[in-house]
A and B are shown apart, each in its own frame.
Chain A
Amino acid sequence: MTLIVNGIGLLIIAAIIIWFWLWRARATQATTNAVDIVVANGVYKPDVIEMKRGTKLTLNFNREDPSPCAEQVIFHGLDISETLPVGKIKTIKLTPQHSGNYRFTCQMQMYQGTLKVVDA
């Protein structure tokens, strides 16, 4: 019994590490220059977006979650922060000049996403 419980516990810990930390998301390629992002139930959908450096990208945020957590979206390192209205589309246009991974999150960082900017 002791062995089983401890074993399960360790497996859960391993699963947490693998699932939440080691797993790398496949990016949604910004093939067109616009991506629609739904903000609902604690996640951005899609939450990983890839684009080419120096190109223009339009992100259309559609916030469905009325809780204040979802209210703002902040692009760390890009100096962009916007308030998202509930039930309406908020358009954010950006043209990153440097490649790299930029996280975009809500104020409390519960909503999380990554903008991958790759070299053209």
Chain B
Amino acid sequence: MTPPANNTTQLLNIDGAHCAGCVRTIETALRAVPGVSSAHMNLAERTVSIDGAVNSNALIEAVKNAGYSATLPVNVDDYSERDAAERVHAKALRRNMIFALAVGAPLMLWGIFGGSMMVMPHSSSQIEWGALGIVTLAVLIFAGGHFFRGAWQAFIHHHATMDTLIALGTGSAWLYSMEVVIAPQFFPDAARHVYFEASALIIGLINLGQVLELRARGKTSQAIRRLLDLRAKTARVVRDEQEIEVPLEQVQRDDHIRVRPGEKIAVDGEVIDGDSYIDESMLTGEPMPVRKKNGDAVAAGTLNQSGTLLFRATKVGADTALAQIIALVKKAQGAKPAIGRLADTISAIFVPSVLIIAVVSALLWFNFGPEPKIAYLFIVATTVLIIACPCALGLATPMSVMVGVGKAASAGILIQRGDALQTAAQLDTIVLDKTGTITAGKPTVFEIFAADENEQQLLQLAASIEQYSEHPLAQAIVRAANSKRTLPTPTTEFAAHNGKGVSATIDGALIRIGNRRWLETEHIDCSALLASADAIAAQAGTAIFIARDNQALGVIGVADRIKEDSKEAIARLHQRGLRVAMLTGDSHAAAEIIAREVGIDDVFADVLPEHKAAKIAELRAQGRKVGMVGDGINDAPALAGADVGFAIGTGTDVAIESADIVLMRGSLHGVADAIEVSQATLRNIKQNLFGAFIYNIVGIPIAAGVLYPFLGVLMNPIFAGAAMSLSSVTVISNANRLRLLRIGSEREKTA
């Protein structure tokens, strides 16, 4: 068991505590544990911190005896810390917002309901407004201080940021108003207006915008949080014939780990004992549980369902597939597709450009505008500075990518290269490898025809001999026999005949298993079997003939069967307007049969593995945007040569470098899903970019007063502040809409 800790502080998560009374009970129970010097519970966070030299198990036990439950907060990941930091930050932002709005709103209402915002020289209004000016200054310092600090730091580093715009905008409104208060006689009558309410309200609104933004941003990282949550907290390690529950971090390679039904697999490993079904859907998107027995690999984060397993840890920590998936998703979420580059370029020069626009507009108003010129000069400059929003522009692409990549990951689609998201959305041709992509990649028996109508016996006979052969077709027959639980008959004199088949002696008779040509050269009459053999060939299968001495017994059809949902998935690709081609080393006739069955447009048959990449290059040279789908191992050059390479059915083996997109699920639906997510993400990015560009392109000129000569209206700086703080929230919220996207295979699951 875990040794008693030295005098340290420990943290426990408490469940079931809802009232202040519970706090007392839990604290008292913990303090009664020998060695505890103090225990303090935080009801809001449902945690209790305990000081003292005591074993954590004793503490958990004590909480349990008090009627609650406690767990160790092992695995304090980035996110719980981040959430705590964000909570603190949100609190500060809310406080700032309330303070600023509390000062600004009454001032604005005063103005709206006819109160005078003017300052008269040598009157009490100077003192009253002076006092309000000081209060507004307090707002700028306490609620908006971070903008000014940021602006200054950026300035001395020759950068201009968001903070620069806010600080200059609110600062200049305040300065102008203060000058009016101190020396109204220097201003024309109409220009003796104060704008303290604008400064305070803008600061309040921007803080409000940041609170909303913080909340919306939290949702964009949901996918990665879900992956992080898949990590087990502890593992039951068998050491010296004893099972000990240890924190995940302490599990080492080659540890033997026991998993019971309903438990998570803690680390990657290889089963050494037991038999069970494991739900891998959280990683691969594959809904069917997978059977695991001796020698099979299990992956961290998957869920053991029915049986108990003992496995040997092969990969721990950052090496597990889950950790690699998390790292991949994080990396892809930070990637910038090419479409975002223009926005990037503009962002980089945006703020100084806005500063210049503000000065130019101010000068235009001063030279050509109406009286009071000096007042308009300040107002226009302030409004331009405040309405400009580089944030929306900068956030447009990354927010959508973040949500889109996360959405893909939850469907078992890993995007390895950031650009792939954009390219996949623009593909017009999909080339599918045949074996293992359209088909299962493993030959199976699909037809047995026995001349004496005893199929079971024929299969048993064939399997008895084929069990000695390494040939994939032979293995298919053995598997079929095994699944029907037939027992092999003793055989002697097994021989393999290259290119023909195999033979052996059973009960004194010579049994031959092989192709028709061979049996016919041995003068065996196969005519009774030809109809069946033709039917097998028509289904792209291989017919295997069986004969005892000189008598043909029957024929077995073996084929690499098409995956159940290949046809449907290809139809989905067609629906999206894609041309679907098949690439295979098979003969043209065999390939055509499969192609017809699943609805392939173009067939490239007789292509040697080493020529696959050349075929892809040829298609690209025709100006097509080609996506290649293969298993990632044999097809590596072709995958790498395509515009987008999809590695399919990798399970939890995700480190496939030649692929741009890794589909952990075996189904071709993954390709359609990936394209759907990519197209939706690209559409979302475009919406965001369009919105952000239009917002600035329209907003800035209006703020500068282009409408004034025609309509006689000028934007209020407070309105600019509200628009600005909402613009980035809008971008993030639009990106979050992607989370709700229902991709095709999900639709059909719920249908």
Q: Which residues of A approach B to under 8 Å, CB–CB?
A: 2, 5-6, 9-10, 12-13, 16-17, 19-21, 23, 25, 40-43, 45, 47, 66-69, 72, 74, 76, 79-83, 85-88, 103, 107-112
B158 to A, closest residue via Cβ: A23
Asked whether B433 is an interface residue with its Cβ less than 8 Å from the other chain, the reply is: no
A9 to B146, CA, bound (A): 27
Q: A20-B158, A81-B331, A110-B162 are in contact. Are A66 and B348 (CB under 8 A)?
A: no
A72 to B402, CA, bound (A): 12
A44 to B366, CA, bound (A): 38
Asked whether B715 is an interface residue with its Cβ less than 8 Å from the other chain, the reply is: no
- Interface contact B355-A66, CB-CB below 8 Å: no
- Interface contact A81-B162, CB-CB below 8 Å: no
- Interface contact A76-B336, CB-CB below 8 Å: yes
- The interface residues of chain B lying within 8 Å CB-to-CB of A110 are 161-163, 390-391, 394
Q: A21-B349, A42-B159 are in contact. Are A107 and B398 (CB under 8 A)?
A: yes
- The interface residues of chain B lying within 8 Å CB-to-CB of A72 are 334, 398
Asked whether B210 is an interface residue with its Cβ less than 8 Å from the other chain, the reply is: yes
B334 to A, closest residue via Cβ: A81
Q: A9-B362, A20-B352 are in contact. Are A86 and B162 (CB under 8 A)?
A: no
Q: A16-B355, A42-B161, A85-B82 are in contact. Are A109 and B335 (CB under 8 A)?
A: no
A76 to B418, CA, bound (A): 12
Asked whether B37 is an interface residue with its Cβ less than 8 Å from the other chain, the reply is: no
Q: A107-B398, A112-B159 are in contact. Are A16 and B356 (CB under 8 A)?
A: yes
- The interface residues of chain A lying within 8 Å CB-to-CB of B157 are 25, 43, 45, 47
Q: A42-B154, A81-B335 are in contact. Are A107 and B394 (CB under 8 A)?
A: yes
- The interface residues of chain A lying within 8 Å CB-to-CB of B152 are 41
- Interface contact B85-A83, CB-CB below 8 Å: no
- The interface residues of chain A lying within 8 Å CB-to-CB of B149 are 41
B581 to A: closest C-beta gap in Å: 31
A43 to B153, CA, bound (A): 7
Q: B158 contacts which of A25, A68, A87 (Cβ < 8 Å)?
A: A25
Beta-carbon contacts under 8 Å, B76-90 to A: 78, 81-82, 85-86, 88-89
B340 to A: closest C-beta gap in Å: 10
Beta-carbon contacts under 8 Å, B396-454 to A: 398-399, 418
Interface string of B131-158 (1 = CB under 8 A from A): 0000000000000001001111111011
- The interface residues of chain A lying within 8 Å CB-to-CB of B82 are 85-86
- 20 new A-B contacts, CB < 8 A, other than A42-B161, A76-B336, A103-B348, are A5-B377, A17-B352, A41-B149, A41-B153, A42-B150, A42-B162, A43-B159, A66-B85, A66-B88, A66-B89, A68-B86, A68-B217, A72-B398, A74-B336, A79-B335, A80-B334, A87-B85, A107-B395, A109-B347, A112-B159
Q: A69 contacts which of B158, B162, B347, B360 (Cβ < 8 Å)?
A: B162
A12 to B: closest C-beta gap in Å: 5
- The interface residues of chain A lying within 8 Å CB-to-CB of B362 are 9
- The interface residues of chain A lying within 8 Å CB-to-CB of B248 are none
B156 to A, closest residue via Cβ: A43
- The interface residues of chain B lying within 8 Å CB-to-CB of A6 are 363, 366-367
B356 to A: closest C-beta gap in Å: 5
Beta-carbon contacts under 8 Å, B598-615 to A: none
- Interface contact A67-B210, CB-CB below 8 Å: yes
A40 to B, closest residue via Cβ: B153
- Interface contact B367-A2, CB-CB below 8 Å: yes
Q: B348 contacts which of A10, A85, A109 (Cβ < 8 Å)?
A: A109
- Interface contact B336-A13, CB-CB below 8 Å: no
- Interface contact B78-A83, CB-CB below 8 Å: yes
A38 to B466, CA, bound (A): 69
A111 to B162, CA, bound (A): 10
